[in-house]
Amino acid sequence: MNTQFAIRNSQFAIPVGVFDSGVGGLSVAREIMTLLPAQPIIYLADQAHAPYGQRPLAEIRTLSEGIARFLLAEGAGVIVIACNTASAAALHGLREQFPAVPFVGMEPAVKPAVEHTRSCHVGVIATAATFQGELFASLLDRYAGRVAIHTQICPELVPLVEAGELDSAGARSAVQRYLAPLLLAGIDQLVLGCTHYPFLRPLIEEIAGADVAVIDPAPAVARQAGRVLAQQGWLVEDAASPAHQFYTTGDPTRFQVALRDLLDVTTDVRQATWQQDNRLLPVR
């Protein structure tokens, strides 16, 4: 990573804005915290509208625009769309609306899966909205080639993760049911196409078996965020612990518990509320 433009004092750092419909984006935030331990993060969970995967693309675009304006108003410089559904629906539009703002989006890791498959069968699990977006179609056009891409919509997984059910009987049953047709097709690569799914990774790997490689794009997204920060001159080298901020449009207490359980982070969570004009404002 190019750090020639890095700044040293986190006191003057420009935060990375990260958003998702809920706790799933914390899997991306976790990777950013690991790779860039001195960089402050402002995280917004739009739990009032979760899950995004079952909402119309036009609505997701409107919500994403409101969240982007919120994160910029709170001081974010780079914005990471830590949601495959929102990236598929809104990334291109956000870049057009905010041309001066660097956006880092999510995309299913089809390219590395295709590069490493031996069976020529790759599985992708995601939401319906992710598969409907132009981004996924573009990935298939660019990388699939002669490899068969088998897709599976998994509507039950996001609510399970939001509820903290990572190894319950219900979670196990759902994962088994969703993976069954992919395993029957002979996949040897499984792409996690939703940021909630990495929190189910131990269960997914157990059910998929040792012959199936599970691919999480979050580390690559964190690396890209680091590159963008370095290019902008906003990368922090200071070893001091940054002051992360967490907001939710849902229940702050519930999100606080999720932070503790999923990231082992104990901190305050603030409320943000949607206005009738689609603005998102913090509760002061």
- For residue range 193-239, what is the model confidence (pLDDT) as tens digits? 999 999 999 999 999 999 999 999 999 999 999 999 999 999 998 76
Q: List the catalytic residue out of 81, 125, 160, 194.
A: 194
Cα 265 from chain centre: 18
- The position carrying tokens 């190019």 is 2
Give a yes or no: residue 15 inside a domain: yes
CATH number of the domain at 198, please.
3.40.50.1860
Count of domains in the chain?
Answer: 2
Q: Are residues 155 and 28 in the same domain?
A: no
**pLDDT band for position 12 (50/70/90)?**
low
Domain boundary among the residues 181, 199, 216 is at: 216
In a domain, residue 37? The reply is yes
128 part of a folded domain: yes
Q: What count of other Cβ atoms lies within 10 Å of the Cβ of residue 22? A: 26
Does residue 53 carry a pLDDT above 50? yes
Question: What is the reported pLDDT for 228?
Answer: 97
User: 62-65 contacts: CB < 8 A, separation 24 or more?
Assistant: 62/278, 63/278, 64/19, 64/89, 64/90, 64/93, 64/94, 65/90, 65/93, 65/94, 65/97, 65/278
Q: Which pLDDT value is given to residue 76?
A: 97
Contact 274, 280 (CB under 8 A): yes
137 and 72 in a common domain: no
Residue 50 falls within a domain, yes or no? yes
| Residue 5 placed within a domain | no
3 within some domain: no
Lowest mean pLDDT among 3-17, 52-66, 79-93, 237-251: 3-17
Please give the model's pTM, rounded to 2 decimal places: 0.92
Domain identity same for 122 and 185: yes
Predicted local distance difference test score (pLDDT) of residue 11? 55
Domain-located, residue 25: yes
Residue 26 lies in domain: 10-106+219-282
Task: Tell me what the mean pLDDT of segment 19-23 comes to.
Answer: 97
**What's residue 239's pLDDT?**
63
Say yes or no to pLDDT of 190 above 60: yes
- Report pLDDT digits (tens) over 137-161: 899 999 999 999 999 999 999 999 9
Poorest-confidence range of 7-16, 210-219, 232-241, 260-269? 7-16
The pair of structure tokens assigned to 279 is 């603005």
The reply to whether 194 belongs to the active site is: yes
Three-class DSSP labels, 152-164: EECCCHHHHHHCC
Statement: residue 183 has pLDDT above 70: yes
Q: Is 160 domain-assigned?
A: yes
State whether 75 and 128 are in the same domain: no
The single residue of 36, 83, 91, 263 carrying the catalytic annotation is: 83
97 and 16 together in one domain? yes
Give alpha helix (H) positions in 133-266.
134-139, 157-162, 169-184, 201-208, 218-232, 252-263
| Annotation says 120 is catalytic | no
DSSP type of residue 233: T
Asked if 21 and 51 count as a contact pair (C-beta separation under 8 A), the reply is: yes
Cα separation, 27 vs 30, in Å, equals 5
For residue 7, pLDDT over 80 is answered with no
Say whether both 212 and 273 belong to one domain.
Answer: no
